[in-house]
Structure 1
Amino acid sequence: MNVILIGYMASGKSSVGKILAEKLKFEFIDLDDYIEMKEQDTIKHIFKKKGEIYFRKLETKYLKEILESQDNVVLSLGGGTPCYGNNMHFIRENKNAKSIYFKTSIPTLVDRLKTEKAKRPLIAHIDSDEMLVEFIGKHLFERSQFYNLAEITVTTDNKTKKQIVEDVLLALF
C-alpha cells in the first residue's frame, strides 16, 4: 500500500509524512525532493527557467513513476499536484494507493507560511499577511474540489504532528 498525502503547502504533508512513514516502516518520498533529485535542479530554478506548466508536467511524470514502481511508500505531494493533469484521477484509480487530504484552515496556513515565503515560488512575491490571506483563500477555493476527492480527510489545525499521525493511522486501519 502507498499512502498519498495531499493538501495545501504548509499543511504538514512532509513533516507528518516522515513520522507516519517511520511508524508504518515505509519509505518516505517528498515529490518535490524527488523531482529535484531527478532533474538535478531546484524547484525554484525550474519554475524560473521553464515555467509552471513545465513543472506541472514533471510532477505528473514523477508521480506516475513512483506509484507504478514502488510499494510501501508515504508520498507527500506538492500543494498543486492533485489539481493538474489527470493526477487525482490517476491516484484514485491506483488500487494500491490511499489518498489523505490534510485539511488546514487559512489562518493556520498564513501563520506557517509567512516565515517561509522565500522558499515557496508561488508566494515569494507576496508582501503582506493580508495579501497572503487573499492568495491562500483564492487558491484553496480553486483547489478544494480536487483535495476533497481524497479518500480520507484529516484536519490538522491545533494538533501536534503525533496527533495527526494517530488520526491517519486510525483512518487507514
Structure 2
Amino acid sequence: MKIILLGYMGSGKSSVGKVLSEAINHTFLDLDLEIEKNESSSITELFQKKGEIYFRKKEREVLESILKDENDFVLSLGGGTPCFGDTMKFINKQEGVLSVYLKASNSALTDRLYTEVDQRPLIKHLSSKEDLNDYIRKHLFERGFYYNQASQMVSVDDKTIKDIVSEIVVKLF
C-alpha cells in the first residue's frame, strides 16, 4: 500500500510520515526532499530562481515518478501539491493508494508556522502573526476543496504524533 499524507504546511505531514512509516514498516519519502534531490537545488532556491510555476511542474513530474514505484511507502506531499492542476484527481485514480488529509485548524497552523516563517518561501514575506493568520485562513478556504477529496481525514489539533499515527493505522486495517 502507498499512503500519501496531505494538508497545509505545518500540519505535520513529514513528522507524522516518518513515525507512520516506521510503525508499518514502509519506506518514508518526502516529496520536497525528492524534488531537491532531482533538481540539485533547495525548494527555496527553486522558487527564487525559477518561480512557482516551474516548481509545480517539477513537483508533478517527481510525484508521478514516485507513484510508478511498485514498493510500499508513506509519502508526505507539499502543502500546495494537491491543489494544482488535476493532481488530486490523479492521486485518487492510483491503484493501492490511500490519501490522508492531516487537518489542522487555522489557529494551530498559525502558532506552528509563526516561528518558521523565515524557512518557508511562501510565507517569508509575512511579518506579523495577524498577517500570517489571515494568509492561512485564505489558503485553507481555497485549498479545502482539494484537501477534502482525500480518502481519509484525521484532525491533528491537540494530538501527539503517536496519537495521529495510531488513528491512521486503525484506518488502514
Q: TM-score range by the shorter chain?
A: over 0.9
The alignment of Structure 1 onto Structure 2 pairs a total of residues equal to 173
Instruction: Determine whether 1:87 maps to 2:87.
Output: yes
TM-score, with normalisation over the residues of structure 2? 0.99
Question: Matches of 1:80 and 1:97 in 2, distance apart?
Answer: 19
> 1:64-97 CA deviation, whole Å, 9 max, x = no partner?
0000124211000000000012210111000111
The residue correspondences of 1:89-168 to structure 2 (distance < 5 A) are 89-168=89-168
Partner SS for 2:124: coil
List structure 1 runs of 4+ shifted beyond 4 angstroms: none
Letter in 2 for 1:33: L
The answer to whether residue 31 in structure 2 is matched with residue 31 in structure 1 is yes
Which amino acid in 2 is paired with 1:65?
A: S
Gaps of 5+ in 2: none
Code of the aligned partner of 2:100 = I
Q: How does 1:68-83 map to 2 (within 5 A)?
A: 68-83=68-83
Structure 1 position 41 matched with structure 2 position 44 = no
How large is the Cα RMSD of the aligned pairs?
A: 0.6
Asked if 1:62 is matched to 2:62, the reply is yes
Q: Could you tell me how far apart the structure 2 residues matched to 1:153 and 1:133 are?
A: 22
Aligned to 2:50: 50
| TM-score normalised according to structure 1 size | 0.99
Structure 1 residue matching 2:11: 3-state secondary structure: coil
Identity between Structure 1 and Structure 2 (%): 51
Deviations 1:19-58 (A, max 9, x none): 0000111000000000001100000000000100110001
1:172 and 1:150 map into 2 onto residues whose CA distance is: 14
Find out whether 1:12 has 2:12 as its counterpart.
yes
The amino acid of 2:110's aligned partner reads V
* SS of residue matched to 2:118: helix
Matches of 1:76 and 1:42 in 2, distance apart?
17
Taking the aligned partners of 2:92 and 2:70, their CA distance within structure 1 comes to: 16
